Amino acid sequence: MAGRSAFALALAAFLLAAGASSARADEPRQGGTLNYVAPYGSSFSSLDIHASAQIQDAIWSKAIHKPLYDWDADANQPVLALATDVAASDDGLVYTYKLRQDVYFHNGKQMTADDIIWTYTRIMDPQKAYPSARFIRYIKGAAEYSEGKAEAISGLKKIDDFTLEITFTDPMDPAYLLMRNVTSIYPKDEGNSEEFLKHPIGVGPYKFAEYVPGSRLTVERWEKYFDSGKPYLDKVNIMIMGDASARDVAFRNKEIDVSVLGPAQYVAYKADPEMSKYILEVPEVFTRFVGFNLDYEPFKDKRVRQAINYAIDSDLIIKRLAKDKAYRATSWLPISSPAYDKDAKPYPYDPEKAKELLKEAGYAEGFEFELTATQNESWGLTIVEAIIPMLAKVGITVKAKPVESSVLSEVVPAGDFQAFMWSYTSGPDPLTALLNFHSETPQSSGNYEKFNNPDYDKLIDAAKQARNEDEKNELLRQANNLLQEEAPMWFFNYNKAVIAYQPWLHGAQPNSMEIALQSYEKIWFDESAPSR
Amino acid sequence: MLRFILRRLLQMVPTVIAVSLLIFIIFSVVPGSIASSMIADGRGANDPELIERLNREFGLDRPVHVRFGDYIWNLAQFDLGTSFRTRQPVTELIGERIWPTLKLAIAAMCVAIAIGLPLGFFAAMRPGSLLDSITMVGAVSGLSVPQFWLGLLAMYLFALTLGWLPSFGYGEGGLRNLVLPALTLGVGPMALLARTTRAAVLEVMSTDFIRTARSKGMSSFRLVKWHVTRNALVLIITTLGLQFGSMMGQAVVVEKLFSWPGLGSLLIDSVGLRDIPVVQGSILVLVLCFLVINTVVDVLYAVIDPRISHG
Amino acid sequence: MGLRLNLVLGGTLCLIVIVAAVLAPWLTPLSPVMDADLMNAELPPSAEFWFGTDAQGRDVFTRILYGARVSLTVGIGSQLINTTIGLILGISAGYFGGWWDDLVNGLTNLMLSVPSLIFALAIMAVLGPGLSSLLIALGLTNWSWTCRIARSSTLSLKSQSYVQAAKTLGYSDFRIMLTQILPNIVGPVLVIATLGMGDAILAEAALSFLGLGIQPPQPSWGNMLTDARELIAIAPWVAIFPGLAIFMTVLGLNLFGDGLRDWLDPHMRTRPV
């Protein structure tokens, strides 16, 4: 029986290959089971995506849920997802959405404006502290509601079942806020039930099937998904695999179709003539850096900060420790940013120049500083260990101060450091990213270095007022270059995120926001996929 | 007997309260918070307002003694609180993880008993023999080796090089995934059991009673089978019971190494994320496991050796 | 195994570690932190680098020599704290009895009911990673056996005639405890401390592996193993040698402790857990 069906399959495959060889390579095919990985840790934290700020949870959310906007990874920009059309008022405060009328929750109920209003209201629940609130807070009246001063969010207005009007507090592009997975739309009322937390329901391409805590979450194709024809795959198993070497073994055994690579695997896969064909790499919007506390005496002098940038052989560290799985940083904005200056050159490795600058600044004998860092291998003690001897060569003594990551993110916003190492999001919106270094941004809200430069402020303020994207990006480009010159930090690298996929998999997207987040509905298998 | 068991169970109550107090105090002064851990991977933006809201939602803005009162009050109703991270009841989260940990611990104990017991037994049968020397060297080595290092080497050999076994994870809960972690965790108890068994059997063998029986011509193997077993069992059970506590500690490391989704990894992850109710709950449950096992050991002890008074 | 053999073998292993720790700067010309050359990273063992190099291009042999200092400090330091606490609590509880004895007993039972590694982990989370935190964490969590032995020995010694005699002579309680009781329990306590040193070194490795031990750049055998998991497939020597160092040291301490115990009291066979 098994033999016969295998033969039949082989025959069918042969006939298909012969008959449709021209269409085969780029024509999406239905069917198949995708084994995907959730690589960040050993568990999911919650089946309530509003309550989780973890990327790990966004990985299952991408299958089950959809927010109002979607991040189009191929185009590198946000697009409307649950609406067909949007119109903004002249003052840029009121947005009117024409909702899609073919969106259905996994329980069969049609999605209307009520569900969206209910969802955003739930996120601002005065009794709860959902991390997703920071994106909804820009809707007018949301803050008042969450403080208990209002019965409802005044900026959310239902015109009819499929027309929604949202008023914002500032003129801004709401796409960057409402595309976040943590703002995904829940079915009204049901979203608060006990049952929902065990059995989430969304409008996404796949419906929840099974969750084995600590092991995997399985979803199945949602037949009434609004984007007709999609999704292609019947089923997706999202396996929790926090360990890079374990993913390596599973991927080589073809047990998983996609693997997120660590540095060691990246080197090995790149060297393999077959595997290297199926690698997708992308500069993610995360910048790794050592921030200097500008209140600390030696760091007050720009030349000292520049000297550190000259004294560290960043390229060597990237090559040897990061195994080339990173892009050298020039300044703050990452390569994928629309305001990234393609002509900018990073600080070269020049210890002599560094010594000279230190001498000019009055630190010919060197000085000492404490560097607070976690034990992260890409932006923590592993890197600190490498820069200690490099800086020692120009006379600077670095004392590593190891902390746990939850402590790092407490001491840094409080300014309780001389220098710290971190990886911080620097996109996709360049204005938001550069706003961190505006002198009016409090230290606790992102200006950790306490950077204060009037010229820089002027450029940012002008960019806010810019009439079009080109003008805005040009101003931000200048600001970004000024930041490099002023060097309030050691610019280390931008993360190079890499996934490897099996040859039969098509449609993987180079997501610069986070490569582990794939829109599963775009993925399909060709005939060479194993049957599972 | 029932009264004896009841009394032992009642004796656990003050210990449990004291342990909760201790854990509560330790984790009320720990630096870092659930709010700071949410941005700890550098992938979210810091949000001072969120921190304030979280503190309000979880009642962290109240004074410590009020929180402790609440905690104990809930504990008395077998309520371990709500996880900061998932907002699920802690009991539910622990319920998901307790079985993998018990499975691992039981498997490790089985490994220890299956290998350690016969080795110690046969070593004692022929004191000074090659088998005896090898067993004793092996036992002291087993107590001296860092378990997770041994696990790492086993992972390298059996999973990465030979490809016989999965290198990590729970899989679908099958036996294949259990082998390496259980062997790793079993090494310590195995070594200890071999030593204890050998010592216990030697001790019993040297008593007058056995010597007399032997002089009457009973074969030593039969002797041991009938007379030694019961006496040695007492010592062995005690060893296993006591060993259980340190095994619970070691399980944390082994679970982390093999990404085993048990109570130990839950504890470590929760400490890192500062999900304090889960940390308190997991430690408490681990301690409870240990106390219950010890009670069971005491009861067994009394059953096997009726000379122990029940009063 | 012969009694002598235990002592000799164990003592030799311990001696090697002590020599390595004390003479580290003379045994290797390299620095464990500063002599990093990324161009020489992950080299296998060779004539130049006996134990190979790690991911930072540092000599693993050098780091193991310096790591011995940390391990010994952890072992000796934590046992000094443990033994002191255990002795003070145990002797005083046995000597005075009453409510104080009950309290100490309760405390001992409490310590025994929490797995010490988990207890140490909690303390490390509060104090943050580092050597001094580690000494405190391991020093505060493993005194119960010393305390128990000290207490029971004191109880039996208290009724001995020479202690009673000292009492009638009007010696102060403190003096009796120090001069009449303490010297009689040094033996078993020393055995426990020796075995405890091994356990502390193992605990350091475990805590470092969990990210709560001694942190780089300072080399410790435990933190040298932390990166080893990622590197095991491409540079197994980075994992093998520090693990071997821990193993040999703890083995030495355990053998020495066993030998010491057999020498002091041939009847006391089982080891406290």
Cross-chain CB nearest to C38 (options A321, A377, A404)? A321
Please report the pLDDT score of residue C159 as a whole number. Answer: 82
Closest-CA residue of chain B to C129: B31
Q: Which among A390-399, C4-13, C220-229 has the top mean pLDDT?
A: A390-399
Please report the pLDDT score of residue B228 as a whole number. Answer: 66
Give the whole-angstrom CA distance, residue A417 versus residue A438.
20
Give the whole-angstrom CA distance, residue B279 versus residue A454.
47
CB contact under 8 A, C246 and B195: no
Supply the CATH number for residue C76's domain.
1.10.3720.10
Least confident among A70-84, B103-117, B123-137: B123-137
CB contact under 8 A, A215 and B170: yes
Kindly report the backbone phi and psi dihedral angles of residue A107, in degrees, each rounded to the nearest multiple of 5, phi listed first.
-95, 5
Please report the pLDDT score of residue A239 as a whole number. Answer: 92
Q: Could you tell me the residue ranges of all domains in chain B?
A: 2-90, 97-304
Give the whole-angstrom CA distance, residue C228 versus residue C240.
9
User: Which helix or strand (DSSP H or E) is residue A460 part of?
Assistant: helix A454-465
Size of interface A-C (CB pairs under 8 A): 72
Give the whole-angstrom CA distance, residue A76 versus residue A71.
7
Give the whole-angstrom CA distance, residue B293 versus residue A60.
39
CB contact under 8 A, A245 and C125: no
Q: In what order do the strands lie in the sheet with A94-99?
A: A83-88, A94-99, A163-167, A156-160
Cross-chain CB nearest to C113 (options B141, B243, B290)? B290
Least confident among B219-233, C129-143, C199-213: B219-233
Please report the pLDDT score of residue C65 as a whole number. Answer: 94
Contacts of residue B47 in chain A, CB cutoff 8 Å?
Answer: 131, 134, 445
Q: Could you tell me the residue ranges of all domains in chain A?
A: 66-196, 284-495
Q: Which chains touch C (3 or more CB pairs under 8 A)?
A: A, B
Q: Using H for helix, E for strand and C for coil, what is the string for A301-365?
A: CHHHHHHHHHHCCHHHHHHHCCCCCEEECCCCCCCCCCCCCCCCCCCCCCHHHHHHHHHHCCCCC
Please report the pLDDT score of residue A179 as a whole number. Answer: 95
Q: Which residues of chain C from 139 to 198 reach within 8 Å of chain A, CB to CB?
A: none
Cross-chain CB nearest to B252 (options C118, C232, C243)? C118
Question: Per residue in C109-119, pLDDT tens?
Answer: 888 888 889 99
User: What tokens appear for C19 in the block?
Assistant: 């020599």
Q: Which chains touch A (3 or more CB pairs under 8 A)?
A: B, C
Report the predicted TM-score, pTM, of the whole model to 2 decimal places: 0.87
Closest CA to A97 of A68, A73, A118: A68
Amino acid at C168: T
Q: For chain A, which residues score pLDDT lower than 70? A: 1-25
**Domain A284-495 architecture:** Roll (3.10)
Fold classified for A66-196: Dipeptide-binding Protein; domain 1 (3.90.76)
CB contact under 8 A, C254 and B149: no
pLDDT band at B305 (very low <50, low <70, confident <90, very high): low
Please report the pLDDT score of residue A365 as a whole number. Answer: 92
Question: Is C196 a residue whose pLDDT tops 50?
Answer: yes
Q: Which residues of chain C from 111 to 140 reach within 8 Å of chain A, CB to CB?
A: 125, 128-130
Please report the pLDDT score of residue B156 as a whole number. Answer: 83
Whether C239 maps to a domain, the answer reads yes
If you classify domain B97-304 with CATH, what class do you get?
mainly alpha
Question: Per residue in C28-84, pLDDT tens?
Answer: 888 888 888 888 888 899 888 889 998 888 999 999 999 999 999 999 999 999 999
Q: Which residues of chain B from 163 to 202 reach within 8 Å of chain A, CB to CB?
A: 163, 166-173
Closest-CA residue of chain C to B288: C113
Q: Position of tokens 């200056």?
A: A341
Virtual torsion, Cα C179, C180, C186, C189, nearest 10 deg = -110
Q: Write the ipTM.
A: 0.87
**Contact status, residue C247 vs residue B146, Cβ threshold 8 Å:** yes
Q: Does C270 touch chain B (CB under 8 A)?
A: yes
**Contact status, residue B156 vs residue C233, Cβ threshold 8 Å:** yes
Mean pLDDT of chain C: 88
The number of domains in chain C is 1
CB contact under 8 A, B261 and A43: yes
Closest CA to C10 of C269, C262, C273, C239: C262
Percent helix, strand, coil in chain A (nearest 5)?
35, 20, 45
CB contact under 8 A, A402 and C233: no
Whether C46 maps to a domain, the answer reads no
Whether C40 maps to a domain, the answer reads no
User: What tokens appear for B124 in the block?
Assistant: 């004692």
Least confident among A467-471, B225-229, C184-188: B225-229
Residue C257 domain boundaries: 2-25+61-268
Closest CA to B290 of C192, C213, C117, C269: C117
pLDDT band at B310 (very low <50, low <70, confident <90, very high): very low
What's the number of CA atoms in the CB half-sphere (13 Å) around residue A275?
20
Whether C131 maps to a domain, the answer reads yes
CB contact under 8 A, B163 and A242: no
Kindly report the backbone phi and psi dihedral angles of residue B5, in degrees, each rounded to the nearest multiple of 5, phi listed first.
-65, -45
Give the whole-angstrom CA distance, residue C58 versus residue A297.
33
From the CB of residue C135, how many other CB atoms can be counted at a distance below 10 Å? 20
Please report the pLDDT score of residue A20 as a whole number. Answer: 41
Question: SS3 of C122, please?
Answer: helix
Whether C50 maps to a domain, the answer reads no
Closest CA to C104 of C117, C128, C88: C88
CB contact under 8 A, A413 and B159: no
User: What tokens appear for A228 in the block?
Assistant: 């007709």
Closest-CA residue of chain A to B47: A445
Question: Per residue in B262-300, pLDDT tens?
Answer: 899 899 989 988 899 999 999 999 888 888 888 888 788
Question: Is B204 a residue whose pLDDT tops 90?
Answer: no
Contacts of residue A213 in chain B, CB cutoff 8 Å?
Answer: 96-97, 261
pLDDT band at B301 (very low <50, low <70, confident <90, very high): confident
Cross-chain CB nearest to C113 (options B15, B239, B253)? B15
